[in-house]
Structure 1
């Protein structure tokens, strides 16, 4: 998501006091690293660009109630890790580094940065800006393999009965490529599925709804809502932003050069650097030698990740108390989840699975409607979102490859009564309860009657 241009400092000042009082700025040290080099503890440093990590515990999922077996599965998944959308941030960073080099103003650390940025940009350009990376493809393949391993009897029956596996995407290249990688993972686990997987179809109204004409009111909100503009300007102009930028610049440039940069220039440079810092783990295969972690101090990286999270929170997440503009449009996707499960239960659909591949702008509002953990708490207009007053984190709500999965289970009654149907939800592969207004089959169970979900998930 593109950063929103801030308003004047004067507009932001009115909100600064409450923001400064509420921001939690947590220092810490790096912990064990995953394949990307991104710390497992510090995934929040990367926001929604954090590479995917499954949250479930294989072998520890609840068993379905006695007599119930899986008969259908469906998901909504964000595309996997990808190259950054364009080279703008990289070129901006290189331009400042070039001027400093001409003036002999680079520190020893600063002198090491430009080659890293050039390597990252070359990797992204070669892959294609915005395209799925090798890491992203592997995220999708591995997620699919784990899905098949969790539901082996279902996928065997899909293959044996030649039941269709429907694949839907936003039509954007990285989503289409994610679908291809995912289905390749399924067939790697169960080769007989190959003949059941349908060619992907594009449904922008379902999986790219934030850009469609019917949501013009949402697009107007992004472009001109005064509350949105004011709060993002307040966040951008919080004094910690200037301090973090000044510290970041001071580590890379000698004092005279750094001091000659305006505060706005320092902030712009630091945010572009953080954008590259966040993008590097997603290109760990294409640019294996790139490590930008030395160039931003942990505390500074965390602050700039917070700024990115604030934009995501207000633009696609729960946003302002009492307003639904950012998430009500995801109702079309929630309705489709219910409709597909309902059609399978009613016998009006023979689909074995429905797989959907989309974007963070769809996952985040859907998470609000579903009441997923950490996704729903809104912010008072007079008290901006911070890490202290709200649990919403981009790296947890919608990392690369984020997914929501519904598994439909049916019993096989011997007495002639109609079959009963239960739904289990996984969020990033972790068993997850539906919102509190939904009642499971038993206390503490992750299995819910389908008819119950049709009522408790109803929305206006």
Structure 2
């Protein structure tokens, strides 16, 4: 999350309670990680619907967020270690807090060793497993790709972790089926397609993000409320003695962090730790759960979700600025499927690798599950009034896949979201009630392409 220094007085936008399920540890636990949640496939492959009789798979395409990674920088570690060192010198650490500094130093060293922002061992495993499941889901397609000399195109945003994700994914496919090696050409980069939030196509969005007063005031109001300060005090109280926590609250260390910023840094380390599980000393994970109670992790997870919801997701109901730029990516999905149908393409698969900043707005544009409801004027996003959850919308290694099936001149499309079969948006009609297969012509109509 960005560092948000609270400056507003409390007003109508403020929230006054924990998220609705903050005390439900089973559900809140995953949600508490937000978009740093590690990947979990959404469905057992054995339960997928079978295509109608006579249809065979002829094409597949995806867009995937990069896998689990280290933190993008060492800012969180710097913040908490500066406070921890001062507290240690002053004799103001709790018994638990005495372990905190060494744990942070070890985690930061592990992240620095692989490179900040780079794929972790777990991230590589996530991508390999997804690739293997893809090949197992469509074995006849990949056999045909190899036999017919079709190509598999791999394209990324150009950012290191996205490039590496494509490499790991491709290697896993060829390991699963060595005959595919000749199908892969040189991976390419397309920033306009897969880094659109920072490309020319996102210019209006970039301006809005930097200068929109409603966005800024809403996020400040969400952050600066009594519940946030209470949660911050509890988080810091696990590490520091009460007198030192009060010194943080009173602003003595304002040049380092205020109470919410400091607690957010602790939360961020908690949230990234599972992504770095294989780099832990015993390879089994980091015990950062002991530094933040479930209810407080859920609260800071909510604050992170609120930021992502407003900045990247459905956002305000009277604006599409956060997701209209994702149209370039949706257009490419249709372009590739249509090329297969029209006989103008030579690809058997199109594999794209990108970031949460692209997955989240694409999900909102397509009205994927959990991403179809924006915040109406005067109503602030909360877990109680909106289903949007970062952990479900765009976890690490999250993905959207279309499988295309052919029978004669008819083409059907099935969509998977995090490997779970899902329906297309309301107004798109499947081939029959309850089916997850849609005629490509119907999807073109439904999305206004015909």
Fold shared, TM-score > 0.5 on shorter chain: yes
For residues 348 and 251 of structure 1, what CA distance do their matches in structure 2 show? 62
**Alpha-carbon distance, 1:229 to partner:** 0.5
Match of 2:307 in 1: 311
- Residues 268-283 of structure 1 correspond to what in structure 2 (within 5 A)? 268-283=261-276
**Alpha-carbon distance, 1:339 to partner:** 0.5
Match of 2:255 in 1: none
Counterpart pick for 1:133 among 120, 139, 152: 120
Match of 1:35 in 2: none
Match of 1:179 in 2: 166
Match of 2:221 in 1: 234
For residues 370 and 28 of structure 1, what CA distance do their matches in structure 2 show? 30
**Alpha-carbon distance, 1:187 to partner:** 1.1
For residues 93 and 381 of structure 1, what CA distance do their matches in structure 2 show? 37
For residues 96 and 157 of structure 1, what CA distance do their matches in structure 2 show? 60
- Residues 81-100 of structure 1 correspond to what in structure 2 (within 5 A)? 81-100=68-87
Match of 1:159 in 2: 146
Query: Is the contact made by 2:6 and 2:224 (CA closer than 8 Å) also made in structure 1?
Result: no
For residues 266 and 368 of structure 1, what CA distance do their matches in structure 2 show? 33
3-state SS in 2 of match to 1:71: strand
Query: Is the contact made by 1:67 and 1:411 (CA closer than 8 Å) also made in structure 2?
Result: yes
Query: Is the contact made by 1:232 and 1:310 (CA closer than 8 Å) also made in structure 2?
Result: yes
Counterpart pick for 1:430 among 420, 429, 433: 420
For residues 81 and 458 of structure 1, what CA distance do their matches in structure 2 show? 35
Query: Is the contact made by 1:313 and 1:319 (CA closer than 8 Å) also made in structure 2?
Result: yes
Match of 1:396 in 2: 392
Determine if the alignment matches structure 1 residue 208 to structure 2 residue 195.
yes
Counterpart pick for 2:432 among 442, 447, 451: 442
3-state SS in 2 of match to 1:72: strand
Which of 44-53 and 372-381 deviates more? 372-381
Query: Is the contact made by 2:21 and 2:28 (CA closer than 8 Å) also made in structure 1?
Result: no
Query: Is the contact made by 2:3 and 2:261 (CA closer than 8 Å) also made in structure 1?
Result: no
Tell me: CA distance 1:199–1:263, structure 2 relative to 1, closer, same or farther (3 Å): farther
Tell me: CA distance 1:7–1:116, structure 2 relative to 1, closer, same or farther (3 Å): closer
**Alpha-carbon distance, 1:7 to partner:** 5.5
Match of 1:415 in 2: none
Tell me: CA distance 1:388–1:115, structure 2 relative to 1, closer, same or farther (3 Å): same
- Residues 25-104 of structure 1 correspond to what in structure 2 (within 5 A)? 26-29=22-25, 42-104=29-91
For residues 235 and 4 of structure 1, what CA distance do their matches in structure 2 show? 13
**Alpha-carbon distance, 1:41 to partner:** 6.4
For residues 298 and 322 of structure 1, what CA distance do their matches in structure 2 show? 35
**Alpha-carbon distance, 1:14 to partner:** 4.0
**Alpha-carbon distance, 1:79 to partner:** 0.3
Give deviations 1:84-131, integer Å, cap 9, x for gaps: 000000110111010000000101011010111001100111100000
Which of 289-298 and 105-114 deviates more? 289-298
Match of 1:37 in 2: none
Q: Number of matched residues?
A: 441
For residues 389 and 444 of structure 2, what CA distance do their matches in structure 1 show? 28
Give deviations 1:156-193, integer Å, cap 9, x for gaps: 00011110000000000000000011111111211110
For residues 4 and 172 of structure 2, what CA distance do their matches in structure 1 show? 41
Counterpart pick for 1:420 among 403, 407, 410: 410
Query: Is the contact made by 2:233 and 2:259 (CA closer than 8 Å) also made in structure 1?
Result: yes
Query: Is the contact made by 2:156 and 2:194 (CA closer than 8 Å) also made in structure 1?
Result: yes
For residues 22 and 93 of structure 1, what CA distance do their matches in structure 2 show? 25
Query: Is the contact made by 1:7 and 1:229 (CA closer than 8 Å) also made in structure 2?
Result: no
**Alpha-carbon distance, 1:25 to partner:** 5.2
Give deviations 1:198-219, integer Å, cap 9, x for gaps: 2210000000000012321101
For residues 99 and 7 of structure 1, what CA distance do their matches in structure 2 show? 24
Query: Is the contact made by 2:197 and 2:325 (CA closer than 8 Å) also made in structure 1?
Result: yes
Query: Is the contact made by 2:194 and 2:354 (CA closer than 8 Å) also made in structure 1?
Result: yes
TM-score, normalised by the number of residues in structure 1: 0.93
For residues 295 and 61 of structure 1, what CA distance do their matches in structure 2 show? 40
Match of 1:221 in 2: 208
Counterpart pick for 2:376 among 365, 380, 384: 380
Which of 247-256 and 396-405 deviates more? 247-256
Match of 1:150 in 2: 137
Match of 2:359 in 1: 363
For residues 433 and 151 of structure 1, what CA distance do their matches in structure 2 show? 20
Match of 2:254 in 1: none
Determine if the alignment matches structure 1 residue 286 to structure 2 residue 284.
no
**Alpha-carbon distance, 1:21 to partner:** 6.4
Tell me: CA distance 1:177–1:132, structure 2 relative to 1, closer, same or farther (3 Å): same
Query: Is the contact made by 1:6 and 1:229 (CA closer than 8 Å) also made in structure 2?
Result: no
Query: Is the contact made by 1:52 and 1:400 (CA closer than 8 Å) also made in structure 2?
Result: yes
Query: Is the contact made by 2:60 and 2:401 (CA closer than 8 Å) also made in structure 1?
Result: yes
Query: Is the contact made by 1:375 and 1:392 (CA closer than 8 Å) also made in structure 2?
Result: yes
For residues 121 and 450 of structure 1, what CA distance do their matches in structure 2 show? 48
Match of 1:13 in 2: 11
